[in-house]
Amino acid sequence: MVSSMDELQEQVRRQLYRFQDLAEQMAAVRGRETSEDGAVTAEVDGNGALEDLQFSSAVSRMTPAEFEKVVVATAAQAARRAFERRAEIVNRFNDEMAEQA
């Protein structure tokens, strides 16, 4: 319980800063994955949107179907990594908020 208006304002200020930190951390989340053969590297943002896609010369030896499969699987794994990171950030934030309550 808060005993004064100053304490309440300070508590609210700390929570506001923590929310701003959370927003910045979430915006910075990236997932990056390289296929096992090194042919494809995909990077996605925290929402799973593709940000970067790189290919090595190994893609020249793939059929179109193999190429498609590797690109999709690599991008999906990058997205999983990003979502796992987002979940870690949110869980840590929730734990901190629960401790303060």
pLDDT score for 59? 97
pLDDT score for 79? 98
User: What does pLDDT average to in each consecutive run of 10 residues of the chain (101 residues)?
Assistant: 81 91 96 97 97 97 97 98 96 90 69
pTM: 0.83
In order, the DSSP letters of 57-101 are GGGGGS-HHHHHHHHHHHHHHHHHHHHHHHHHHHHHHHHHHHHH-
Q: What is the CATH number of domain 22-100?
A: 3.30.1310.10
